[in-house]
Amino acid sequence: MAEKPSPLPKMSTVPQSAWQKLSQKKIYFGHQSVGFNIIDGIKDVMKEHPGIKLDIIKSSDASLLHAGTLEHSTVGKNFDPESKVAEFVKFLKKGLCNKADFAGMKFCYVDVRANTDVKNLFKTYEDSITQVEKDCPETTIIHFTVPLKVSNTTWKTIVKKIIGRKTSREDNVKRNAYNKMLLERYSGKEPIFDLAKVESTYPDGRRCTFKMDGNIYYSLVPEYTNDGGHLNELGRKIVAEQFLIFLANLHG
pLDDT digits (tens, 9 = 90+) for 165-177: 567 899 999 999 9
Q: At what angle do helices 233-248 and 33-48 cross, to 10 degrees?
A: 80
Name the nearest CA neighbour of 121 among 160, 85, 167: 85
pLDDT digits (tens, 9 = 90+) for 116-141: 999 999 999 999 999 999 999 999 99
Q: Which element (helix H / strand E) includes 71?
A: strand 69-74
Question: Which residues partner with 193 through β-bridges?
Answer: 144
The SS3 of residue 73 is: strand
CATH homologous superfamily for the domain 11-248: SGNH hydrolase (3.40.50.1110)
Name the nearest CA neighbour of 30 among 68, 81, 64, 99: 81
pLDDT digits (tens, 9 = 90+) for 188-220: 999 999 999 999 999 999 999 999 999 999 999
Residues with Cβ < 8 Å from 188, sequence gap 6 or more?
A: none
Domain ranges of the chain: 11-248
Contact of 69 with 102, CB cutoff 8 Å: no
pLDDT digits (tens, 9 = 90+) for 72-86: 999 999 999 999 999
pLDDT digits (tens, 9 = 90+) for 147-167: 999 996 543 544 455 445 567
Which amino acid, residue 151? S
CA distance 193 to 47: 23
